[in-house]
Amino acid sequence: MKKKIVLIFVILLTTFLFSSYFLMGKGYFSIISKIFTTKQIQNIKEYIFPYKVISEQKKTIADLDIRRKKNFSYLFELELNSKKNLDDIQIKKAEEVELSNNKIMSKFTIGSGFYSAIYRTNPGGYIDYYENNLFIISSRGILAYGQSLEDKNFKQIENNLNDFIGLKQFNRSITFSLRDLLIYKNKIFISYIEEVKEDCYNTSFVYGDLNLEKIKFKKLSFNKTNDCIHFSNNIDKEFNGMQSGGRIVHYDDNHVLFSVGEFRNRYLAQDKESINGKVIKVNIDNSSYEIISMGHRNPQGLYYDKKNDFIIETEHGPMGGDEINLIEISKTDKENPLNYGWAIVSAGEHYKGKIKDNKEKYKKYPLYKSHTKYGFLEPLKSFVPSIGISEVTKIGNNKFVVSSMKDKSLYFFELNNKKEIQNLERVEVFERVRDLKFQNDILYLFLEDTASIGVISFN
């Protein structure tokens, strides 16, 4: 009986002391610490006052999240200040890397300006080559050029890109950024994630006359119905700004090809009334567009082979299933565009796989493994596991190269007479590759782990 009384007394005393500590502040901690060891205090907090512990943990997580967002915001502001001040972009030769295909890759580090990220904290960006100048653009709108990477300083070009996407969008999500750069016949095109209306987004592009001093961009309004995906209020109850596509390539004097992702609203890829999950051909004179292909998840790379009249398209799969697709222009149909099957078929799986929580997702989006069995076009190549596929370009007669981010490699391949991939060769470059450009027998790579330009000569 005495033992029970003592035990009850101890429990009541413990409850009183810790209740006083939690309710009246940490002044009581000196009293508690004299009675209990640190380990005993922690055990009592966890087992007698678990809700308080959970509350404290939630506050810690929230504080860390706020700090993380502040750090990103600081990077965004730093980059925008560099843009505003028109600081020169410093270029410095860093090292030479020996590759497995007996090639040497020279790395030139971008020393300033490219602070912020397309992905996590990587300083992403894009490149293009025009009239003996190499152009670079950061994911937040710093645009610069130089005649040679040996110049050491690239000159910034003043522009109004932040009229279209700026600090408000960057702070909303680190995935909101510029998406590609194209220069053709003295015109410059830049794609970006547009806030079409409050908290509702889609992929768009702006264009302007190329001027090495100052460029005033204007929007090409091909999305006349203002289609957009709401950040939180959408059918699939998911949103991912990384699944936005945004690759833009030259087609002819009046048209560009443009890829648009589905922002993880999967059903849009099979909706012919939507531009999402599509490759479209946009008329830059009258803003009309035509769907070339559909059933795409997140089209990351485009190359139009004018000689053979086909498009090579690359796209991110879900958990596995990155694809290289061949789009034959002669087989396109305005009423029935070429269909590559997402989100009905894929070599990959929904994230976390076939778990209980994904049961309804698999009912709606089954991800069958055969494209042709269900009436869709098979990819030239599916990668399982995913390689984080990015850009594709041509480097010779029926010879191509695809870049990757997750795998940090290049994939060289040829197309035979049957338009099948052969001689696929993986060459590791040890960094995420966001963009490629092949010019004068030189392959340029935008390496985003170190914000560098890689250079591989094929002479």
* pLDDT, tens only, 395-408: 999 999 999 999 99
Q: Sign of the CA dihedral 351, 356, 361, 366?
A: positive
- Lookup result for tokens 């289609």: 227
CA-to-CA distance for 175 and 394, rounded, in angstroms?
Answer: 28
Identify the pLDDT of residue 310.
Answer: 98
Residue pLDDT, tens place only, 38-62:
556 566 655 655 655 556 555 544 4
**DSSP assignment of 28-74:** GHHHHHHHS-HHHHHHHHHHHSHHHHHHHHHHHHHHHHHHHHHHHHH
390-399: b (≥16 Cβ within 10 Å) or e: bbbbbeeeee
CA-to-CA distance for 206 and 284, rounded, in angstroms?
Answer: 10
Residues whose CB falls within 8 Å of the CB of residue 33, separated by 6 or more in sequence, listed in order: 41
Please give the backbone phi and psi of residue 81, each rounded to the nearest 5 degrees, phi first.
Answer: -65, -40
CA-to-CA distance for 259 and 247, rounded, in angstroms?
Answer: 5
Identify the pLDDT of residue 63.
Answer: 46
In contact, 365 and 350? CB cutoff 8 Å? yes
Q: What share of the chain is helix, strand, coil (3-state, %, to 5)?
A: 25, 40, 35
Task: Give residue 369's Cα distance to chain centre.
Answer: 25
With residue 39 as reference, give the H or E element that holds it: helix 38-48
Identify the pLDDT of residue 39.
Answer: 55
Q: What is the mean pLDDT of each run of 10 residues along the chain (459 residues)?
A: 60 54 46 57 60 54 48 82 93 95 96 73 86 95 93 92 94 92 97 97 98 97 93 95 97 97 98 97 96 98 97 98 97 92 98 96 98 98 98 97 98 97 98 96 96 95
- Lookup result for tokens 């957009």: 228
* β-strands 153-156, 338-339 pairing: unpaired
Q: In this structure, what token pair is assigned to residue 191? A: 């794609």
In contact, 404 and 389? CB cutoff 8 Å? yes
Identify the pLDDT of residue 60.
Answer: 46
In 3-state terms, what secondary structure has residue 161?
A: helix
Residues whose CB falls within 8 Å of the CB of residue 449, separated by 6 or more in sequence, listed in order: 122, 408, 431, 432
CA-to-CA distance for 175 and 314, rounded, in angstroms?
Answer: 19
Identify the pLDDT of residue 459.
Answer: 87
CA-to-CA distance for 15 and 216, rounded, in angstroms?
Answer: 68
In contact, 355 and 361? CB cutoff 8 Å? no
User: 262: closest CA among 324, 348, 202, 190?
Assistant: 202
Task: Give residue 393's Cα distance to chain centre.
Answer: 19
What is the number of alpha carbons within 13 Å of residue 224 lying toward its C-beta? Answer: 6
